[in-house]
Amino acid sequence: MYSKIRKKQQCAIDSLQSSLDSEARCRIEATRLKRSMEGDLTEMELQLSCASRQASEATKSLGQLQTQVK
């Protein structure tokens, strides 16, 4: 009788441990993905800043050219 209870308890413990291990792996993966996405976002922000600067310079140059043409 006690051995059956112990087996059931051990099975429950093993199941909980498996769930905890799985959750820990998922959290680690989520953290890794978050860091990766943050790095990608930083890179995109830098690219956007550069593109905006280039667009601003091009607009200014266009305005100067239009003034010269007039």
Given pLDDT bands bounded at 50, 70 and 90, which one contains residue 2? Answer: confident
Mean pLDDT for 7-36 is 97
- Give the Å distances, CA to CA, from 52 to 15, 20, 41, 49, 65: 54, 47, 16, 5, 20
What are the structure tokens assigned to 34, written together?
Answer: 């978050």
Mean pLDDT for 2-31 is 96
The model's pTM is 0.65
Mean pLDDT for 51-59 is 97
Average pLDDT, rounded, for the chain: 95
Residue 6 DSSP code: H
